[in-house]
Structure 1
Amino acid sequence: MPEHEPLSRDRVLQAAVGLADEGGVAAVTMRAVAERLGVKPMSLYHHVPHKEAILDGIVDAVFADIELPLDEPDWRAALRHRAHSARTVLGRHSWAIALMESRTHPGPATLHHHDAVLGILSRAGFPYALAGHAYSLLDSYVYGFALTEAALPFAPQDVEIAVGDYLAAFPVGAYPHLAEFAAQHVLQPGYSYGSEFDYGLELILDTLAARLSGAAGP
């Protein structure tokens, strides 16, 4: 950013997101944000009162990045799109996974996001109790999958090497089911752990559709 650009809340939050992307939430301190912006720490307090306000703001920024296809009439397509977008955004900002539902002062983008998802479910005919179950299930799945992806100790393209190294470290026959699983599934051409996301998501959407049909009655 140009040096003459005045300090603002948006600039503070952009700097904080950059720090979190590089070093996790622990890297986000008032001093570190100030250093990133080339200002004194006290200057930040004109725009954010404390670190918790920064965390509120950067979580809100993550929610703002998740796409919500509000014009999509098919609730399954809308929730599928939202789930894929959330996974992509959390892949860029894995530090946010543990913070997404932790804020006691959620921002406008966060509240809009939750309201919009509930609106998609409500317009599809979900009673609010079932909508709550659906929302909780979807978020648990998306956040959990994103967390697993972020924690994998190898790059997706290196899965064959990684699995081979794991199995080679143990005596032949020590873990026969793992070995067979790897041979029959993981090491097959075209395998990608990321594709498991689609399978699980469709399973959830199928189940929700069945529950919605049952809730509608005869």
Structure 2
Amino acid sequence: MARPKKNILSPQIIAETALKLVDKGHDFTIPGIAAELGVNPSSLYHHVTGGRAEIIKLMRRALYEKIDLSGLTDPLLPWQDRLEQWVRSYRDSSALVPAALPLLVGAAVDDSLTLQIYEALFTILDQAGVGQEQQLAVAAMLDAIVIGSAIDAASPDPLWTATEELPRLTSLASPEAMTRRTQDGLTLAIRAAVAQIEAIAEAPRR
């Protein structure tokens, strides 16, 4: 394969290409990235010495680098508002390429950007009055909301094709309702999470 006339490779370009391939085929390979970019596979290792594992970390960064941490850490905003912003911003970034989520979930989180996102979350939970012994469970609950809603965002529209034999489903599955379904569901999940966190914070500590 001919060498490119100029250096078109960078970790960012490689990550974005991997995300593009995952969006189309739910996975990526290093030869596939190289073919997409028109370079030899060996050329990629000059920029991602850690191979596939490093590319997955770079994909995570490419998805989440636009999250505004300043709004999440503003102590003048109520913690409920910041928690909602945390969930929505994390979910919206995840929903850009939902097919990437199984790859990201299967890889340890050790990049500084994503760790800062979770640091912001635990600071919010501190200010909400949630004890440290409960914070990991709350984070897992919020992860489930984020990941579930992001994957659900890739559902076909309409999701259900009902018939007269299913009158309840037919009555609910109007085009207008189905268009709102994912966002309305996310809003309900956030409200439920806030209510649960408030209850945890108010409960007597053991």
* Pair in the same fold by TM > 0.5: yes
Match of residue 167, structure 1, among 129, 142, 163: 163
- How many residues in Structure 1 have an aligned counterpart in Structure 2? 197
Counterpart AA for 2:101: I
How much does 1:40 deviate? 1.1
Per the alignment, residue 71 of structure 1 pairs with 74
How much does 1:136 deviate? 0.9
Distance 1:196 1:84 in 2: 12
Q: Runs of at least 4 residues of structure 1 off by over 6 A?
A: none
Compared with structure 1, are the counterparts of its residues 104 and 138 closer, same or farther at alpha carbon in structure 2 (3 Å cutoff)? closer
Structure 1 segments unaligned to the other structure (5+ residues) = none
Counterpart AA for 1:180: R
After TM superposition, the score normalised by the length of structure 2 is 0.81
Distance 2:192 2:99 in 1: 27
How much does 1:149 deviate? 3.2
Distance 1:46 1:188 in 2: 50
1:99 alignment partner, SS class: helix
**Percent identity (aligned):** 22
Contact 1:126-1:212 at 8 Å conserved across structures: yes
Larger relative contact order (Cα-Cα within 8 Å, sequence gap ≥ 6): 2
Distance 2:175 2:37 in 1: 48
Distance 2:133 2:170 in 1: 40
Contact 1:125-1:212 at 8 Å conserved across structures: yes
Per the alignment, residue 10 of structure 2 pairs with 8
Distance 2:93 2:205 in 1: 34
Distance 1:29 1:39 in 2: 14
Name whichever of 140-149 and 74-83 sits farther off: 140-149
1:71 alignment partner, SS class: coil
Distance 2:204 2:45 in 1: 51
Distance 2:16 2:144 in 1: 27
Distance 1:103 1:64 in 2: 17
How much does 1:129 deviate? 1.6
Structure of larger gyration radius: 1
Distance 2:53 2:146 in 1: 25
Per the alignment, residue 18 of structure 1 pairs with 20
After TM superposition, the score normalised by the length of structure 1 is 0.77
Distance 1:101 1:121 in 2: 22
Contact 2:98-2:151 at 8 Å conserved across structures: yes
How much does 1:115 deviate? 1.6
